[in-house]
Structure 1
Amino acid sequence: MKPRYEPAIKCLIVRLHKGSVILPLNLMAELVAGSELAASMHPGVEGWLHWRNRQIPVVSLESLCMEEDAGESDEGKCLILHTVSAVPGLPFVALRVQGGLNTLEILPDTLRDDHGGNVQRCPYVARQVRASHLLCFIPDLPAIEAAVAEVLQLTVEQQELAISE
């Protein structure tokens, strides 16, 4: 029996305030300066980024995971991602990041699970791994998108209430 060939997945490694995330390269739409965000009144959404005639919700993985010392990126960059869920009206989300982008081709044996230091499990992190000796998080994008969609639903309901009053 022939061994099954599994192709490498082209991924991005992006730095957060603390740690890094790994994302499939095909989800990236654009890396933009996100220093001027419209304010958000909702927990979990740091603000709104105006991008290509759209309002994109900006989230921070650290804020979602309620890390005490989650600070804003000094560089104010946002990585705009195509969503993976079929949520109507949510084609993109933006993730608050720092620095530039690094690429990595991931094979089945590239990632090693790392449970050290992961005392409190965040529901928005699918896995904590080491890639080339770098501690990285693989975000649970469907969970993040569901949280943002819930915020958007609240926003729609509040707008409808304001209009009807």
Structure 2
Amino acid sequence: MNREQIYAVLMALEGDTLLLPNAAVAEVVARDSLQPPDPGAPAWLAGYCDWNNRRVPVISFEAANGSGHNGESRRARVVVLNSFGSHLPSGLLAIVSQGYPHLVTLNRSAVKPLELRPTDRADLVLSRVRIANQEAAIPDLAALEAEIARVQSAA
């Protein structure tokens, strides 16, 4: 195994792309598995899905990051992610994606740092990078978990 290579996933959003560690992705499920959020939930909480007998909160990263809300694309999927923190009792969270994530193998020379967009929430986006001709945001999954946990504890 080449220690200089990392396995990651590019996940298409509406007007953006996320770059996540491959180990974060548990499964991709159909968007029709999405259940509506509780009344009064923030706009970025798209709802919940049941996965492996666990209720998983599903977010619209675009809405959480302040750049709009997911449309109702027929290609949209729910990407279930392993939680790396201890904020969520299910140990999982999910993000609405505009299609299936794509596995990529990266090395240092393939990834160029970029500045955050003016609309990015610095507490949710660790950084932005360019991979070939694709720009991607690297989300702070621990911050997303904490944000979800705050909403769930307030409910």
Bin for the TM-score computed over the shorter chain: 0.7 to 0.9
For normalisation by structure 2, the TM-score amounts to 0.87
Aligned residues of 1:8 and 1:107 also touching (Cα < 8 A): yes
Q: How far did 1:115 drift?
A: 2.4
2:4 and 2:19 map into 1 onto residues whose CA distance is 17
CA-based RMSD: 1.8
Distance 1:38 1:92 in 2: 16
**Could you tell me whether the CA contact under 8 Å between 1:34 and 1:76 is conserved in 2?**
yes
Larger CA Rg, structure 1 vs 2: 1
Would you say 1:76 and 2:99 are equivalent positions? no
Pairwise CA distance, 1:134: 0.2
CA apart distance, 1:62: 0.5
In the aligned structure 2, how far is the partner of 1:29 from the partner of 1:73? 23
TM superposition shift of 1:151: 1.3
Q: 4, 28, 31: which one pairs with 1:31?
A: 28
Deviates more, 1:107-116 or 1:47-56: 107-116
Aligned partner of 1:10 in structure 2 is 7
Residue 121 of structure 1: how far off its partner (Å): 3.1
Residue in 1 that maps onto 2:149: 149
Q: Deviations over 1:31-78 (max 9, x none)?
A: 00022422213113110112222211001110101214x333502310
* SS class of match (2:149): helix
C-alpha contact 2:60 2:70 (8 A) present in aligned 1: no
8 Å Cα contact 2:88/2:145 also seen in 1? no
Deviation at 1:135, TM superposition (A): 0.8
Change (3 A) 1:128 1:73: farther
Give distance in 1, aligned partners of 2:98 and 2:144: 19
* Residue 58 (1) aligns with residue 55 (2): no
- Specify the code of the residue in structure 1 equivalent to 2:152: L
Amino acid at match of 1:71: N
Number of residue pairs matched? 149
Q: Shift of the alpha carbon at 1:88? A: 5.0
Partner of 1:162: none
* CA–CA distance in structure 1, aligned partners of residues 72 and 19 of structure 2: 18
Query: Letter of the aligned partner of 2:143 in structure 1?
Result: A
Task: Check the 8 A contact 1:73/1:97 in 2, yes or no.
Answer: no
Judge which range, 35-44 or 79-88, deviates more: 35-44
| Counterpart in the other structure of 2:120 | 121
- Structure 1 residues without counterparts, runs of 5 or longer: 156-165
Gaps of 5+ in 2: none
